[in-house]
Amino acid sequence: MKELGKIRAAYYGTISDYPFLMGLNLTIEHDGCIAGNQVGLVNTNRLDDGCAKKSIMEIRQLLEDANVSSVDDLVGKPVEATYENNSLKSFRILKEVL
């Protein structure tokens, strides 16, 4: 199921339950519902396996798609979120309406 919504919050840092994982944490809101998602997660215990570069490139692409240069500027950007079994599976920035 696809839903239209907006990014409600965005921050870069560690995940509270897994402090060795670092990435971009997003909160997506649509129709009063809220879902969380992480982008570009990297295991800080294994930085030499190429994941860090992949993580940076994934976050960079998201910033480019949203036409912003800072994670903070992602807040309010429109998204199309895809859900399966009431779980957020993926999302994309709606570049066509920016």
The string of DSSP letters for 3-68 reads EEEEEEEEEEEEETTEEEEEEEEEEEEETTEEEEEEEEEEETT-GGGSHHHHHHHHHHHHHHHHT-
pTM for the complete prediction? 0.86
pLDDT tens profile 32-69: 888 988 888 898 888 777 888 889 999 999 999 999 99
Residue 70's pLDDT band (boundaries 50, 70, 90)?
very high
Residue-level pLDDT at 86: 81
pLDDT tens profile 12-42: 999 888 999 999 999 999 988 889 888 888 9
Residue that wins the pLDDT comparison between 9 and 87: 9
Q: What are 39's two structure tokens?
A: 């982008």
DSSP state of 1: -
